[in-house]
């Protein structure tokens, strides 16, 4: 069985934008890593049905692009919407009905809302922009708003954004009329919240904090988040060098959480306990490269691919579905400046 995947990358040095690859799950190898489409600064990708959406920049113009995913995994360009000069995005996602795209812009602290044509994948227009406010105690990283994540909530009624610069989580109502701020949760000052992954029940969410190298459980209901557990370190307590949390992913069976640590260059594995309100550490394993920016789990739940931003290599792990533990299999394939992993 072969699983098709894509890598999004920076294009500051050797990166080309979008790479494509296969995971041969029978041979347990990564193969056919090649340029899928050259796109400037395509640092995050997301799939909806037969369409792939990517962050894009053209000079000072910033926004998103759309592609049709062909049967062989090749991409056909549809269109783009470069409607802003207020910074390149760092995270995008698409609403379940395929009618909206949400973009988080780290540098300028913006959330951008786009209208999509769910039938043909076209990006119709930029509907609205929200400018985050606030700051945190870390003068080097929190001098202002830095929004790092934007995604629809499980009940489909809101989007949630995570602001690393202001230490807040915001929920918004959204429509063709734009974004309406609904609720704000303040998290630990200086923690630098980065990404969220939801429990399958939709009742709990797992927040990773980049600056404090921690994960914590939140409750969620009707657009409102609350902190229900103390933060847990994602790196060993005695590690005193620079490290920053990056990705968080849940196994498809909803039993385990995987977090990448840049600097410590590791993957932390957690077991989800009970109904999802608690987690416990299973193991912390080396990621097999330098600066593991993103990871993702194959739809079969059997393998994990980790993209390393600095060492450029893609690392394949097999995954024990019972224990959640990882075993490194291969680490020779390259995707220059890779920072996002998505499977179809």
Q: Tell me the per-residue pLDDT of 181-210, one tens digit each, with 9 for 90 and over.
A: 999 999 999 999 999 999 999 999 999 999
Whether the predicted pLDDT of 227 surpasses 90: yes
What are the structure tokens assigned to 188, written together?
Answer: 């630990």
Using CB atoms within 10 A of its CB, is residue 208 exposed (0-12), middle (13-18) or buried (19+)? Answer: buried
Residue 153: pLDDT band (50, 70, 90) is: very high
Contacts of residue 186, defined as CB under 8 A and 6 or more positions apart, other chains included, come to: 167, 168
Burial of 4 per CB tally in 10 Å (0-12, 13-18, 19+): middle
* Spatial CB neighbours of 146, under 8 Å, sequence gap ≥ 6: 106, 107, 109, 132, 163, 164, 165, 166
**Which residues fall within 8 angstroms of residue 322, CB to CB, at 6 or more apart?**
none
- Tokens linked to 120: 């043909």
Q: What's the burial of 116, exposed, middle or buried (CB within 10 Å: 0-12/13-18/19+)?
A: buried
pLDDT score recorded for residue 229 = 87
pLDDT at residue 303, as a whole number: 98
In this predicted structure, the answer to whether residue 319 has a pLDDT above a threshold of 90 is yes
317: number of CA atoms within 13 Å, CB side?
25
The position carrying tokens 């409607």 is 83
**pLDDT on residue 291:** 98
Q: What is the pLDDT of residues 67-103, one digit of tens each?
A: 999 999 999 999 999 999 999 999 999 999 999 999 9
CA gap 292, 44 in Å, rounded = 15
Average the pLDDT over 322-344 and give the result: 97
């Amino acid at each position: 069985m072969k699983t098709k995947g894509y890598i999004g990358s920076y294009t500051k040095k050797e990166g080309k934008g979008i790479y494509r690859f296969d995971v041969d799950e029978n041979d347990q190898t990564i193969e056919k890593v090649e340029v899928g489409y050259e796109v400037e600064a395509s640092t995050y990708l997301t799939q909806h049905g037969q369409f792939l959406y990517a962050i894009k920049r053209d000079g000072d113009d910033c926004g998103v692009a759309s592609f049709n995913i062909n049967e062989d995994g090749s991409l056909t360009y549809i269109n783009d919407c470069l409607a802003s000069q207020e910074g390149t995005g760092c995270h995008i996602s698409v609403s379940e009905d395929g009618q909206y795209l949400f973009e988080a812009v780290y540098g300028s602290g913006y959330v951008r809302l786009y209208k999509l044509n769910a039938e043909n994948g076209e990006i119709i227009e930029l509907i609205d922009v929200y400018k985050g406010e606030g700051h945190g105690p870390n003068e080097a990283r929190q001098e202002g708003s830095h929004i790092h994540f934007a995604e629809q909530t499980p009940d489909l009624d809101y989007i949630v954004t995570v602001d690393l610069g202001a230490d807040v989580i915001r929920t918004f109502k959204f429509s063709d009329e734009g974004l309406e701020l609904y609720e704000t949760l303040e998290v630990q000052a200086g923690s630098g919240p980065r990404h969220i992954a939801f429990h399958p029940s939709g009742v709990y969410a797992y927040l990773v904090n980049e600056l404090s190298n921690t994960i914590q459980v939140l409750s969620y209901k009707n657009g409102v988040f609350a902190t229900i557990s103390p933060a847990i370190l994602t790196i060993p307590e005695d590690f005193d060098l620079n490290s920053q949390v990056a990705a968080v992913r849940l196994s498809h069976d909803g039993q385990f959480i995987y977090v990448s640590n840049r600097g410590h260059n590791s993957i932390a594995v957690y077991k989800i306990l009970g109904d999802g309100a608690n987690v416990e550490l299973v193991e912390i394993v080396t990621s097999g490269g330098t600066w593991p920016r993103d990871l993702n789990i194959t739809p079969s739940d059997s393998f994990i691919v980790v993209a390393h931003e600095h060492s450029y290599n893609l690392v394949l792990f097999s995954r024990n579905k019972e224990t959640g533990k990882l075993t490194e299999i291969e680490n020779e394939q390259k995707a220059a400046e890779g920072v996002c992993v998505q499977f179809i």
